[in-house]
C-alpha cells in the first residue's frame, strides 16, 4: 500500500516539472533495496532526450523530492531515456510510431493470436490499425493491448 501511495505522490510531484520543460514521464519505478529506495524516472521528449537533459532533470527532481520529503528513507535517483525498446502503451505512443513496424502484445487473443507485427497505419482514441504483411489492415482495440515495441528495420 505504501509503495502505491509513494508512487502516485512522486508521479504527481515530478510530472508537472517534466511537462513545463517539454518532457513527458514515460515510466516511474520504485524499488526498495537494502533499506533505501531506488527511484527510476524514464523521461522522453518529441525530439528525444540527451544525457545533459537527464543530468539537469536529475538535479531538479532530486531538489523537489528532498524539499517535499516524500521518500521516508534514503534513496538513489536515476533519470534516464526509455531507450529504443521503450514500451508503447498509449494512443500517443503509437501515434509517434506512424509508418513504423511494431510488435503488439495483447491481453487476450484477437482472431486466435496474442501477438501481431505490422506497420502502424492509423491511431484513434480507441483503436490501432496495423497493416499486417502483406498489407492487410487489422484493427486492434487499444484497451486490448498490453504493450507494443518498435521493430528495428534495416534498409
Segment 102-117, tens digit of pLDDT? 999 999 999 999 999 9
Percent of the chain whose pLDDT exceeds 90: 66
pTM here is: 0.71
Residue 34 confidence (pLDDT):
83
Residue 84 confidence (pLDDT):
76
Fill in the DSSP letter of residue 90.
S
Residue 125 has pLDDT above 90, yes or no: no
The verdict on residue 85 lying in a domain is no
Sign for the CA dihedral angle at 105, 137, 123, 121 comes to positive
User: How does pLDDT run across 35-50, given as a tens digit for each residue?
Assistant: 889 999 999 988 789 9
SS3 128: strand
SS (H, E, C) 27-66: EEEEEEECCEEEEEEEEECCCCCCHHHHHHHHHHHHHHHH
| CATH code assigned at 118 | 2.30.30.100
The verdict on residue 61 lying in a domain is yes
The verdict on residue 155 lying in a domain is no
Q: Look at residues 122, 6, 128, 11 and name the one whose alpha carbon lies nearest to residue 71.
A: 6
What CA–CA distances, in Å, run from 105 to 101, 119, 141, 145? 13, 14, 12, 6
The verdict on residue 108 lying in a domain is yes
Split into its structural domains, the chain has a count of 2
Asked whether residue 74 falls in the same domain as residue 120, the answer is: no
Of 121 and 72, the structure prediction assigns the larger pLDDT to 121
| Backbone φ, ψ for residue 110 (5° rounding) | -125, 120
Residue 120 confidence (pLDDT):
95
User: Where does residue 61 rank: exposed (0-12), middle (13-18), buried (19+ CB within 10 A)?
Assistant: buried
Asked whether residue 73 falls in the same domain as residue 7, the answer is: yes
> Which of the four pLDDT bands, split at 50, 70 and 90, describes residue 155?
confident
Asked whether residue 75 falls in the same domain as residue 8, the answer is: yes
Given 80, 112, 127, the domain boundary residue is: 80
| CATH code assigned at 37 | 3.30.300.70
Residue 96 confidence (pLDDT):
84
**What's the domain range around 71?**
2-80
Amino acid at each position: 500500500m505504501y509503495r502505491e501511495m509513494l508512487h502516485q505522490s512522486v508521479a504527481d510531484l515530478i510530472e508537472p516539472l517534466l511537462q513545463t520543460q517539454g518532457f513527458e514521464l514515460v515510466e516511474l519505478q520504485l524499488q526498495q533495496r537494502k533499506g533505501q529506495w531506488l527511484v527510476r524516472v524514464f523521461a522522453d521528449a518529441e525530439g528525444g532526450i540527451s544525457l545533459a537533459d537527464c543530468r539537469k532533470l536529475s538535479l531538479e527532481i532530486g531538489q523537489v523530492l528532498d524539499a517535499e520529503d516524500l521518500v521516508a528513507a534514503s534513496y538513489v535517483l536515476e533519470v534516464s531515456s526509455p531507450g529504443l525498446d521503450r514500451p508503447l502503451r498509449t494512443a500517443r505512443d503509437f501515434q509517434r510510431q506512424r509508418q513504423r513496424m511494431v510488435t503488439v502484445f495483447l491481453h487476450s487473443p484477437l482472431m486466435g493470436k496474442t501477438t501481431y507485427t505490422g506497420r502502424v497505419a492509423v491511431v484513434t482514441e480507441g483503436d490501432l490499425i496495423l497493416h499486417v504483411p502483406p498489407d492487410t489492415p487489422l484493427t486492434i482495440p487499444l484497451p486490448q493491448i498490453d504493450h507494443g515495441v518498435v521493430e528495428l528495420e534495416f534498409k
